[in-house]
């Protein structure tokens, strides 16, 4: 038998260990690659859209109808530099953009030279306009006509106007923060995976200790054995990582449509097609994680030299824990906040097994019952020997607990907020050429609406908050509502002055959303200077209201405050017709405005769509946390079973000492359940703390709005039951070992049984 065959024969004797290692690597690679692919695609979409449409304007029809090819032809014949921009949704998710390279040739570069299209028409995301038109026959599409900045409104033919062209509002760093949040969750999955892979690998090394000793006696150098072990890990990683990457890209393709909806719903930013990362980054990352996890013993002497002995080592860990907790309270940068969370997790992971072992040792020294003393002493041994899978399970439970609390809180809060925002049953768009005042008079005169219905007018636009000496001015959305009635007075307010809605109806102030209040450090009672066009108004802040799911700053005012020159971007009527039918209301409005058709939208359908989009936002999060918890539970189950098996000869001594087999099995049940229950208890405070970080620290920094802190003890019980099931499963498997005779090893450490 050759040396490699002798060395690797371990996995022929223990195929389950090889299967466990391979499954962990494949699953972890799949999860992380899927998240990395989607976040890379989203980042590229952000960069692509910013560079492609920076400071552009487009031509729109004054009658509100969408532009067509005929409009493009007419504008080109009028001598305008116009380029078509056709966005088409793909069936598998994402978008492609059709452009006409020849039409783009008239656009002027900053230096004054003509700047023809020099991008690649390879579907990432740009394609030729003819290909996009073919796709548009079967998929949803939207045509825009971009016009050169050299043209002004006076250059346009009658019936056209200039409007800004952008893929979405300026979100600052919120989009990147959202993606960084997903990346951080992926890093946590990698950390848990590394712990699990290392635990299984170290178990295999312990079981091969006698084989290594024989090889050394036969003259095989220790360095050659170590090199072969490195080759073994490289081969295993290469074989498992590649299918994991393929599965991860398949997962990303399956979730791409929902993730794109979430990205567009959160940041008004579409997910363009063909922007995913390459295979190289996941391959290198996973290979590095596996190598570090399995070969970290080479770094241990260096680390010990840096931190000194065990006593000093414990002090360093406590210092890291305290520093991480302090940083999570004080830092305002998202990246530093993630570093602080990582510090807390690392320190908690190191301290948790030591805490269990120390408490068990202390308890065993004070127990008078000999069986309890033995059980606590054995618990300390297990906590030390199964430290890595225990810590992995602790991290997974804490992560699942925190994410479940975040998602559940978000869903309930968002549903409640959305129901408030969409309190009216319908909203009717006001045509651009229509006079909204006529509709207001008609609605006020309807006895049916006065008796059982509710309505108000909504005006959308933009305003400016002037900056200070060293600050730039801030553009904000304007949300004007009037008359202020029951459709809005039930809104939840974070902070408010006395009688805020009455004062808003009288035009005596302004309300601001949470995002704007956080960025500009605005407080209730403060006087806010707002520019509507060229006119400046100083208005007291009456309240701060929640505005979930969007990053833009917004002010809420009464329409009477708006000056005559205010440029209205959009108008609508929110109507709950009561005993009347919506058809009766729309027929009356058509007669008042003398139009043939109106755009009417059902708010209940909008509410369902918005809820579905935000459910997609956390689909990846739920999948990652659930699979990670399952992976950690299976790993601990396998590790506990294998480790208990190595000590089966020792546990059989319980029968030799006078216990019945049933009594010995009960002791094993209590031992294994105590172990998994202890780690679940230690995961609880870590999970609650992580919930606080997600809700009150990461969420405001990443999204601009906060959520109420809530905990769910019922879910804690579910995790406790899961930990008990893992412990009972280990005990059941171990009880079967007691039924067969077991030969004691030559020494206690021969099979990683370790301490006696």
Say if CB 264 and CB 271 are below 8 A apart.
yes
CA distances from 662 to 287, 379, 640, 670, 674 (A): 46, 20, 20, 12, 18
Residues 151 and 181 in one domain: no
User: Given pLDDT bands bounded at 50, 70 and 90, which one contains residue 172?
Assistant: very low
Q: What percent of the chain shows pLDDT beyond 70?
A: 76
**275, 298, 321 - which closes a domain:** 298
Determine the average pLDDT of the residues in 723-747.
70
Cα–Cα distance measured from residue 434 to residue 63, given in angstroms and rounded to the nearest whole number? 10
**132, 165, 198 - which closes a domain:** 165
How large is the angle between the packed helices 370-385 and 387-421, nearest 10 degrees?
A: 80
Q: Is residue 703 part of a domain?
A: yes
Say if CB 542 and CB 511 are below 8 A apart.
yes
Confidence check: pLDDT of 686 > 90? yes
Confidence check: pLDDT of 389 > 70? yes
Give residue-wise pLDDT tens across range 499-550.
999 999 999 999 999 989 988 889 999 999 999 988 899 999 999 998 875 6
Confidence check: pLDDT of 183 > 70? no
**Structure-block tokens of residue 370:** 């000999």
Q: What percent of the chain shows pLDDT beyond 90?
A: 16
Q: Is residue 372 part of a domain?
A: yes
Q: Is residue 84 part of a domain?
A: yes
Residues 415 and 436 in one domain: no
Residues 61 and 47 in one domain: no
Say if CB 544 and CB 554 are below 8 A apart.
no
Query: Among candidates 345, 305, 327, which has minimal Cα distance to 690?
Result: 345
Structural domain that includes position 97: 55-165
Determine the average pLDDT of the residues in 575-592.
88
Confidence check: pLDDT of 229 > 90? no
> Which residues lie closer than 8 Å to 654 by C-beta, 6 or more apart?
663, 664, 667
Residues 210 and 261 in one domain: yes
Give residue-wise pLDDT tens across range 285-313.
888 888 887 777 665 555 555 444 455 56
Say if CB 175 and CB 45 are below 8 A apart.
no
Lowest mean pLDDT among 105-114, 216-225, 582-591, 599-608: 105-114
How confident is the model at residue 93, as a pLDDT? 52
HEC profile of 405-459: HHHHHHHHHHHHHHHHHCCCCEEEECCCCCCHHHHHHHHHCCHHHHHHCEEEEEE
Q: What are phi and psi of 308, to 5 degrees?
A: 85, -150
Reply yes or no: is the peptide bond before residue 547 cis, omega within 30 of 0: no
Residues 488 and 582 in one domain: yes
Residues 202 and 313 in one domain: no
Strand, helix or coil for residue 497:
coil
Cα–Cα distance measured from residue 413 to residue 408, given in angstroms and rounded to the nearest whole number? 8
Confidence check: pLDDT of 327 > 90? yes
User: Given pLDDT bands bounded at 50, 70 and 90, which one contains residue 749?
Assistant: very low
Structural domain count, the chain: 4
Give residue-wise pLDDT tens across range 545-572.
988 756 778 999 999 999 988 888 888 9
- 320-323's contacts with Cβ under 8 Å and 24+ in sequence apart are 320/346, 320/347, 321/347, 321/348, 321/351
How confident is the model at residue 404, as a pLDDT? 80
Determine the average pLDDT of the residues in 660-676.
86
Confidence check: pLDDT of 657 > 60? yes
Burial of 278 (0-12, 13-18, 19+ CB in 10 A): exposed
Query: Among candidates 187, 198, 285, 280, which has minimal Cα distance to 233?
Result: 198
Cα–Cα distance measured from residue 144 to residue 87, given in angstroms and rounded to the nearest whole number? 8
Determine the average pLDDT of the residues in 701-707.
74
Residues 264 and 331 in one domain: no
Say if CB 707 and CB 695 are below 8 A apart.
yes
How confident is the model at residue 293, as a pLDDT? 78
Give residue-wise pLDDT tens across range 411-420.
777 778 778 8
Residues 426 and 550 in one domain: yes
Residues 443 and 556 in one domain: yes
Residues 623 and 716 in one domain: yes
Q: Is residue 303 part of a domain?
A: no
Lowest mean pLDDT among 204-213, 548-557, 683-692: 204-213
CA distances from 343 to 171, 181, 193, 307, 339 (A): 30, 17, 17, 16, 6
User: Given pLDDT bands bounded at 50, 70 and 90, which one contains residue 357?
Assistant: very high
Residues 97 and 154 in one domain: yes
Confidence check: pLDDT of 443 > 80? yes
Give residue-wise pLDDT tens across range 1-37.
577 777 778 778 778 778 877 887 887 788 778 777 7
Q: Is residue 341 part of a domain?
A: yes
User: Given pLDDT bands bounded at 50, 70 and 90, which one contains residue 623?
Assistant: low
How confident is the model at residue 297, as a pLDDT? 67
Residues 385 and 431 in one domain: no
Q: What mean pLDDT value characterizes the chain?
A: 78
Confidence check: pLDDT of 381 > 70? yes
How confident is the model at residue 355, as a pLDDT? 92
Say if CB 485 and CB 667 are below 8 A apart.
no
**585, 607, 629 - which closes a domain:** 607
HEC profile of 643-708: HHHHCHHHHCHHHHCCCCHHHHHHHHHHHHHHHHHHHHHHHHHHHHHHHHHHHHHHHHHHHCCCCC
Cα–Cα distance measured from residue 54 to residue 56, given in angstroms and rounded to the nearest whole number? 6
């Amino acid at each position: 038998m050759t040396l490699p065959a002798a060395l690797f024969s371990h996995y022929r004797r223990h195929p389950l260990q090889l299967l466990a290692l391979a499954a962990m690597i494949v699953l972890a690679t799949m999860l992380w690659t899927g998240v990395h692919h989607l976040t890379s695609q989203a980042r590229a979409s952000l960069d692509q859209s910013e560079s492609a449409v920076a400071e552009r304007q487009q031509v729109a029809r004054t009658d509100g109808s969408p532009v067509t090819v005929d409009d493009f032809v007419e504008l080109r014949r009028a001598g305008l530099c116009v380029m078509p921009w056709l966005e088409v949704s793909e069936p598998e998710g994402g978008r492609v953009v059709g452009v006409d390279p020849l039409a783009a040739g008239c656009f002027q570069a900053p230096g004054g030279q003509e700047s023809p299209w020099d991008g690649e028409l390879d579907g990432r995301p740009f394609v030729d306009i003819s290909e996009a038109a073919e796709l548009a026959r079967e998929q949803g599409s939207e045509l825009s006509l971009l016009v050169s900045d050299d043209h002004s409104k006076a250059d346009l033919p009658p019936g056209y106007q200039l409007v800004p062209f952008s893929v979405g509002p300026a979100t600052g760093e919120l989009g990147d923060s959202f993606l960084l949040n997903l990346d951080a969750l992926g890093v946590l999955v990698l950390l848990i995976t590394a712990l699990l892979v290392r635990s299984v690998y170290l178990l295999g090394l312990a079981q091969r200790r006698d084989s290594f000793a024989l090889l050394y006696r036969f003259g095989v150098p220790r360095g050659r054995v170590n090199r072969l072990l490195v080759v073994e890990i490289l081969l295993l990683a290469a074989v498992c990582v590649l299918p994991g990457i393929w599965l991860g890209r398949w997962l990303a393709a399956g979730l791409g449509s929902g993730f794109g909806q979430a990205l567009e719903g959160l940041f008004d930013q579409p997910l363009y097609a063909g922007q995913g990362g390459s295979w190289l980054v996941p391959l290198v990352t996973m290979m590095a994680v596996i190598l570090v996890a399995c070969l970290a013993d080479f770094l241990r002497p260096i680390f010990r030299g840096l931190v000194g002995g065990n006593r000093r080592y414990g002090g360093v860990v406590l210092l890291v824990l305290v520093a991480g907790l302090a940083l999570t309270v004080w830092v305002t940068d998202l990246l530093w906040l993630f570093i602080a969370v990582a510090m807390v997790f690392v320190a908690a992971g190191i301290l948790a097994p030591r805490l269990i072992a120390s408490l068990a040792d202390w308890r065993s020294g004070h127990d008078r019952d000999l069986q309890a003393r033995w059980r606590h002493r054995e618990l300390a041994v297990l906590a030390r020997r199964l430290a890595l899978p225990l810590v992995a399970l602790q991290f997974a439970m804490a992560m699942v607990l925190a994410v479940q609390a975040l998602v559940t809180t978000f869903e309930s809060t968002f549903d409640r907020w959305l129901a408030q925002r969409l309190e009216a049953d319908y909203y009717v768009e006001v045509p651009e050429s229509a006079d909204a005042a006529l509709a207001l008079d008609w609605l006020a005169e309807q006895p049916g609406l006065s008796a059982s219905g509710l309505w108000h007018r909504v005006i959308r636009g933009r305003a400016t908050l002037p900056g200070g000496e060293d600050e730039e001015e801030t553009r904000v959305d304007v949300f004007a509502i009037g008359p202020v009635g029951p459709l809005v007075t039930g809104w939840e307010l974070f902070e408010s002055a006395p009688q805020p809605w009455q004062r808003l109806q009288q035009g005596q102030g302004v309300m601001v959303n949470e995002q704007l209040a956080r960025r500009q450090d605005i407080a209730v009672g403060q006087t806010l200077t707002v520019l509507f066009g060229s006119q400046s108004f100083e208005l007291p802040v009456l309240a701060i209201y929640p505005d979930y799911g969007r990053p833009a700053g917004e002010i809420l005012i009464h329409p009477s405050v708006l000056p005559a020159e205010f440029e209205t971007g959009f108008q609508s009527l929110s109507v709950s017709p009561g005993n009347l039918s919506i058809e009766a209301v729309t027929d009356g409005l058509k007669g008042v405005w003398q139009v043939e058709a109106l755009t009417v939208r059902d708010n209940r359908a909008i509410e369902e769509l918005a809820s579905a989009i935000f459910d997609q936002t956390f689909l990846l999060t739920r999948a990652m946390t659930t699979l990670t918890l399952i992976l950690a539970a299976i790993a601990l189950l396998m590790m506990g079973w294998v480790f208990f098996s190595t000590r089966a000869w020792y546990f059989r001594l319980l029968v030799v000492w006078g216990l019945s087999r049933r009594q010995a099995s009960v002791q094993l049940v209590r031992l294994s359940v105590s172990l998994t229950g202890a780690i679940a208890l230690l995961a609880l405070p870590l999970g609650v703390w992580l919930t606080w970080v997600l809700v009150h620290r990461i969420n405001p920094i990443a999204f601009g709005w906060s959520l109420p802190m809530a905990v769910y003890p019922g879910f804690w019980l579910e995790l406790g039951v899961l930990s008990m099931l893992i412990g009972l499963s280990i005990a059941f498997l171990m009880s079967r070992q007691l039924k067969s005779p077991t030969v004691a090893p030559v020494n206690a450490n021969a099979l990683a049984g370790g301490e006696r």
